[in-house]
Structure 1
Amino acid sequence: MDKKKVAVPLVCHGHSRPVVDLFYSPITPDGFFLISASKDSTPMLRNGETGDWIGTFEGHKGAVWSCCLDTNALRAASASADFTAKIWDALTGDELHSFDHKHIVRACSFSEDTHLLLTGGFEKILRIFDLNRPDAPPREVEKSSPGSVRTVAWLHSDQTILSSCSDSGGVRLWDVRSGKIVHTLETKSSVTSAEVSKDGRYITTADGSSVKFWDANHFGLVKSYDMPCTVESASLEPKFGNKFIAGGEDMWIRLFDFNTGEEIAICKGHHGPVHSVRFSPGGESYASGSEDGTVRIWQTQPPTPTTALNGPNKHSSPSPLEVVASKLEDLHVANKD
């Protein structure tokens, strides 16, 4: 067995149905956090580094398809099949506001300045809610989507929004001020994942069996890589931008070299298709959510056999992930013997 491709994840249980969306907060004074959306109707908040459960947001009456945290990780948002998008206090778990829609809400996203919430879903309408005036009617982007909205995101310091559809290819970019489409990123298959890189340079998309990287300012296609299976989600490493991950139908998470497309590692462990993958804000780990109802957190650089058996290099301190992964590896070896 190739030891470079062996990784022991932190397995986060708690959801009773498939995990369909993951979102990492930026790094805050209290660390960083991971929120997960599930068809069990209860988004969960975890410590992004250790995977420890912090709390569950209770109040939705249908599957939760999308979730996110604001820049300071003080509020959470969720989009649900119960025709609502909700805002939550991420410190207490209390519901702060519920925005009614007329059909299933599939996607939600906080603006960078945290004042706005963007939603989209089966109504084929993009809505922008002013969180400073939550009772005010939302702004609606007219004729905003040719089909059911699958993903939404902000870019260009909240001056542009993007969306993709479940039943047609492409990513549409809208000027927030005019409400008009400024560009369309053309893809053959529907885009199931669209992520704006931390530095604002790239848009990473997963469509069918390919992962594409687009120039977020000039909208040209930078790189396109064919995947070994149908992928549902992809994420670019945020610190150096030299790696990316992809997960999908075959239940594996693959780590690739951004510049060459070479496969670096394969992470196996899920027992169902992978619906969402996301890098942590520092790039030291990444999370995956699956049909099997679990969230798994993987190290970007798995410990080598020497590190796992003899401890970390004396010049460096192990991260909590490395400590837990090392213990799990030792336990696995002991049980095998």
Structure 2
Amino acid sequence: MGSGPESRPSLCLSPDCPGEGNSDGHKEAEQLQRKGQDGKRPCPHPLRGDGFWEGTNTDDETEAQGGQLTVPRISTTVGSRSAHEPAAGRRRPASAAAACHPTERPPAPEPAPALNADEGRRPIIRKWPRNLFRSYSRCGLRRVTAGMKPILLQGHERSITQIKYNREGDLLFTVAKDPIVNVWYSVNGERLGTYMGHTGAVWCVDADWDTKHVLTGSADNSCRLWDCETGKQLALLKTNSAVRTCGFDFGGNIIMFSTDKQMGYQCFVSFFDLRDPSQIDNNEPYMKIPCNDSKITSAVWGPLGECIIAGHESGELNQYSAKSGEVLANVKEHSRQINDIQLSRDMTMFVTASKDNTAKLFDSTTLEHQKTFRTERPVNSAALSPNYDHVVLGGGQEAMDVTTTSTRIGKFEARFFHLAFEEEFGRVKGHFGPINSVAFHPDGKSYSSGGEDGYVRIHYFDPQYFEFEFEA
């Protein structure tokens, strides 16, 4: 649309303005403004055609009045699709200056340097349009707030059960209470692929040291081995009950997984050596450890693959030898079920998350209790930062009570604690239900969280996080 001096789409709303209702009056007011005569001050009222301050006129009105709407587009990845999000305001349509005469004023100062020497217009500093983000929501785009900008991954139809980075951190694996296993690029949230084959909820996922193989355990009574690059299923290990936890050892040659205590079957921890094809073909592990007292709810490999550390439904922690199967150490620091166990980067410590509203830090070799991080709600997952003495906790009210609870009361934030002082120093909101799994990126510059709402959110830390110093 035209924006030259001949096109004057906007009229002043002031009743005292000499340009009210006619373009000739605006020409006269513009001349007075340019000359600075008669001591008349500029009209304080916004021009309707601008639409910048009030945010009341629609895009159709701006178009009808002869204005222009320019919205540069920035590519933003949402899940596996690329959406375009407007990032700038509207271009101001050409409009005349206006003046009004409520009272007599001293002579106006000399006009500022003109923005355009031919037209003689003064530069005007514009505010950000108030209705810009409202127009985003009408287009179905999500507003990205300032500060930590999350990438929202939408690849599951049910609640997230576990998320895990590979060793390099370029890939993020996510599983949920649906049969889908997704892998994403962590840098931009683009979905790389899907591993299809399970017929029930997938409880656990792990990748080996060099990200060649992926291991998943499901409620369809199976544990499956995948080729990470092609998505081909390499092995199918059938069980009598649901597979709750799984993992590769340090070298990637031995896998372990635990089964639930259900349907008359007791809980077992099974060990397979991938270098022996007969174990895979015959579905016969080289070692099987029974757990009669309480089922295992979370388990990880210990340092150098010499043992596994298992958390039980009763709150106990056991350390099992990977060679003999005997119990090397046993402690009971939690009073309720242990939901998650995650190791530090050097594997010397690990943190547990429990339904007793606490997360605790332990020594990996002796299982000696070191620190306790207390909250007001059950903790479903906890992770240790690879670079700083920080731990992030995720949890919230029980999923069955979420429908009767607001997000404020439910405590659905990710909470950051100092590892040494046990003090909370930050929270991150975003999920609309309990957080079921959290994980730090191996470089420590971001973290991810998966919730009961079925979304995975990748948060990249802003510079203030790295400059933060905890004051004891």
What is the TM-score when the length of structure 1 is the normalising length?
A: 0.84
Alignment-mate amino acid for residue 219 of structure 1: L
Moved more, 225-234 or 145-154: 145-154
Alignment-mate amino acid for residue 168 of structure 1: S
1:212 Cα deviation (Å)? 0.5
- Of 353, 361, 364, which residue of structure 2 is paired with 1:216? 364
Go from structure 1 to structure 2 and tell me whether the alpha carbon gap of 1:174 and 1:262 turns closer, same or farther (over 3 Å shift).
same
Matches within 5 A, 1:41-120: 41-120=179-258
Distance 1:143 1:79 in 2: 18
Distance 2:167 2:236 in 1: 24
Is 1:302 matched with 2:440?
Answer: no
Is 1:235 matched with 2:235?
Answer: no
Asked if 2 retains the 8 angstrom alpha-carbon contact of 1:24 and 1:35, the reply is yes
Is 1:255 matched with 2:393?
Answer: no
1:50 Cα deviation (Å)? 2.5
- Of 385, 388, 393, which residue of structure 2 is paired with 1:246? 393
Alignment-mate amino acid for residue 225 of structure 1: F
Distance 1:50 1:149 in 2: 35
Matches within 5 A, 1:244-323: 244-249=391-396, 250-299=411-460, 301-303=461-463
Alignment-mate amino acid for residue 273 of structure 2: D
Go from structure 1 to structure 2 and tell me whether the alpha carbon gap of 1:193 and 1:285 turns closer, same or farther (over 3 Å shift).
same
- Of 156, 164, 181, which residue of structure 2 is paired with 1:23? 164
Asked if 2 retains the 8 angstrom alpha-carbon contact of 1:172 and 1:183, the reply is yes
Identity within the alignment, %: 28
SS of the counterpart of 1:15? Answer: coil
Distance 2:306 2:258 in 1: 17
SS of the counterpart of 1:157? Answer: helix
Asked if 2 retains the 8 angstrom alpha-carbon contact of 1:256 and 1:264, the reply is yes
Asked if 2 retains the 8 angstrom alpha-carbon contact of 1:247 and 1:275, the reply is yes
Asked if 1 retains the 8 angstrom alpha-carbon contact of 2:299 and 2:311, the reply is yes
Distance 2:338 2:200 in 1: 24
1:163 Cα deviation (Å)? 1.3
- Of 270, 273, 276, which residue of structure 2 is paired with 1:130? 273
Q: Please, what is the CA RMSD of the aligned residues?
A: 1.8
Counterpart residue number, 1:155: 302
Asked if 2 retains the 8 angstrom alpha-carbon contact of 1:125 and 1:140, the reply is no
In the alignment, structure 1 segments of 5+ residues that lack a partner are 305-337
1:196 Cα deviation (Å)? 1.6
Moved more, 132-141 or 105-114: 132-141
Distance 2:335 2:315 in 1: 5
Matches within 5 A, 1:190-209: 190-208=337-355, 209=357
Asked if 2 retains the 8 angstrom alpha-carbon contact of 1:81 and 1:105, the reply is yes
Alignment-mate amino acid for residue 200 of structure 2: G
Is 1:7 matched with 2:168?
Answer: no
1:6 Cα deviation (Å)? 5.6
- Which has the bigger relative contact order, CA under 8 A and spacing at least 6? 1
1:14 Cα deviation (Å)? 1.2
1:6-42, CA deviations, whole angstroms, 9 ceiling, x for partnerless residues?
6331111111111110111111xxx621101111111
Distance 1:223 1:42 in 2: 36
Alignment-mate amino acid for residue 210 of structure 1: T
Distance 1:34 1:127 in 2: 26
1:192-251, CA deviations, whole angstroms, 9 ceiling, x for partnerless residues?
0011211011011011211100011222111112113211000000233x1010010132
Distance 2:430 2:455 in 1: 10
SS of the counterpart of 1:96? Answer: strand
Asked if 2 retains the 8 angstrom alpha-carbon contact of 1:44 and 1:56, the reply is yes
1:73-124, CA deviations, whole angstroms, 9 ceiling, x for partnerless residues?
1111110000000011110111111100001111110111001111002141
Q: Which has the higher strand share?
A: 1
Distance 2:154 2:292 in 1: 36
In the alignment, structure 2 segments of 5+ residues that lack a partner are 1-145, 261-265, 397-410, 465-472
Counterpart residue number, 1:317: none
SS of the counterpart of 2:216? Answer: strand
Moved more, 218-227 or 5-14: 5-14
Give the number of equivalent residue pairs.
295
Distance 1:40 1:143 in 2: 28
1:142 Cα deviation (Å)? 3.2
